Amino acid sequence: MAIDYHKLKARAFAPVRQQYTARDTMLYALSLGLGNDPLDTTALPYVYEGKDGNGLVTLPSQAVVLGYPGFWAREPDTGIDWVKVLHGEQRMRLHQPLPPAADVVGYNQVTHLTDKGDGKGAIMVTERRLETAGGELLATVQQISFLRGDGGFSQLNGGQPSDTPLPALQPTPEDRAPDFTDVQTTRPEAALLYRLSGDYNPLHADPAVAQAAGFERPILHGLASYGLVTRALLRQCAGGDASRFRALDIRFASPVFPGETLVTEIWRVPGSNTQYQVRAKVQERDKVVLSHGFAELA
């Protein structure tokens, strides 16, 4: 079964209604390592409701786990070869700070299907509008998936359309050192904690599943490393003020293993005081794991 462009673009997603609590917000932050250092008071607002009487603060990247429709690409009627699907990029824009607890609704749709050619795969963009139960827009989230087994779909059924892809993300500068560097060590059980935010893929928990997929051990969720980069940007460029966070787009280049050290490198965009280019690498292997990053703060 092959992709039907018109059917997939018109696919109806039921609104995903979700209630999250202060406990969920704290657990999300704890799974990313906030609170590992008991003397790091900059982490307290994300894991403790009593800091300076200001109440709990939500990490902006928590938007990517809210209103998620699940791994729907594996449903037979999609025509997608789901075994060969890779999460290629994640893009997010916040329209207002996330409350520490709320009832939210995720409205999901497939916005782009781009054919790279027979044997070369296809690119699918799934966009989610995250709103409060009252209809206020909180965030727009785009998941870019590489459908490795679905190239050539536009040549089928007498010829189907193929969308122009999203504007490409740009590589970080090679001609100058980063303006900021942030170092975060992940905990060995980080993936087991992070999965409690909703992604229960056994690849991140079961050694047998990870080894069958070609990894020596379970890997950290890509969106967990995305959250770590968000934390690095807040710490290095925003004085820890989550309300200043506006956007983060990034490409997943290679997996991270729980327990490894993530080094986030940040460059100011010339002529701007609010835009940055970002990449992250694993210190122990000197391996770039997130690349082509773009971030914006207020």
Catalytic site includes residue 219: yes
Catalytic site includes residue 52: no
CB 75 within 8 A of CB 109: no
Give the CA distances from residue 270 to residues 206, 274, 275, 296, in Å, rounded to whole numbers and listed in that order: 44, 10, 9, 13
Residue in 47, 290, 297 with CA at minimum distance from that of residue 182: 290
CB 293 within 8 A of CB 229: yes
Which residues touch 286 (CB under 8 Å, ≥6 apart)? Answer: none
CA 270, distance to chain mean position in Å, is 26
List 81, 115, 150, 199, catalytic entry: 199
Q: Output DSSP code: residue 83.
A: G
List 79, 222, 227, 293, catalytic entry: 222
Distance from C-alpha of 168 to C-alpha of 59, rounded to nearest angstrom? 26
List 144, 163, 204, 221, catalytic entry: 204
Tokens of 138: 């909180």
Number of Cβ within 10 Å of residue 291's Cβ equals 19
Distance from C-alpha of 258 to C-alpha of 249, rounded to nearest angstrom? 22
Catalytic site includes residue 144: no
- Give every strand in the sheet of 16-20, ordered side by side: 16-20, 102-115, 122-132, 137-147, 85-94, 245-252, 287-297, 275-282, 261-268, 180-185
Distance from C-alpha of 114 to C-alpha of 227, rounded to nearest angstrom? 27
Catalytic site includes residue 222: yes
Looking at the annotation, which residues are catalytic?
Answer: 199, 204, 219, 222
